[in-house]
Amino acid sequence: MSGRPKTYSVKLTEAETVKLEQLVAARKSPQSLAKRAKVTLCCAAHPDWSDAQVASSIGGSVAWVRKWRKRLCSKRHSPRSPPEWSPAKVSAQCESRGDSDRLHSTE
């Protein structure tokens, strides 16, 4: 796809990708977190896709994809804590509630 390069490019490590894929696959994941994980994985897998293409792929709105792509990139480069839906934060929340099996359950 031609056009200007994306302002917010999402890059994930292998560990982050695995955690996000587990979050998407787990049936008991909060759907808001699963949807954010989907947009993150899609943006990382297809960096040349427009926000509209990502939105149609995951079933969200263009504005929502744009917002979360921007938030992810701005938080990643900040030395502060990770975004509330990052793999590290989600794992910590699940472990503190005693339901860490949600991240690993695919049933």
> Residue 56: its pLDDT value, please?
94
15 against 91, higher pLDDT: 15
Structure tokens at 78: 């900040």
> Residue 107: its pLDDT value, please?
45
What number is the average pLDDT over the span 69-75? Answer: 79
CA distance 53 to 62: 8
> Residue 88: its pLDDT value, please?
60
The C-alpha torsion from 12 through 18 and 22 to 24, rounded to 10°, is 30
83 DSSP 8-state letter: P
What proportion of the chain, given as a percentage, has pLDDT over 70? 63
What number is the average pLDDT over the span 70-75? Answer: 78
Mean pLDDT of the chain: 75
CA distance 20 to 75: 17
Do 5 and 84 meet the contact criterion of CB atoms below 8 Å apart? Answer: no
> Residue 77: its pLDDT value, please?
46
φ, ψ of residue 16 in degrees (nearest 5): -65, -40
* pLDDT at 29 exceeding the cut of 60: yes
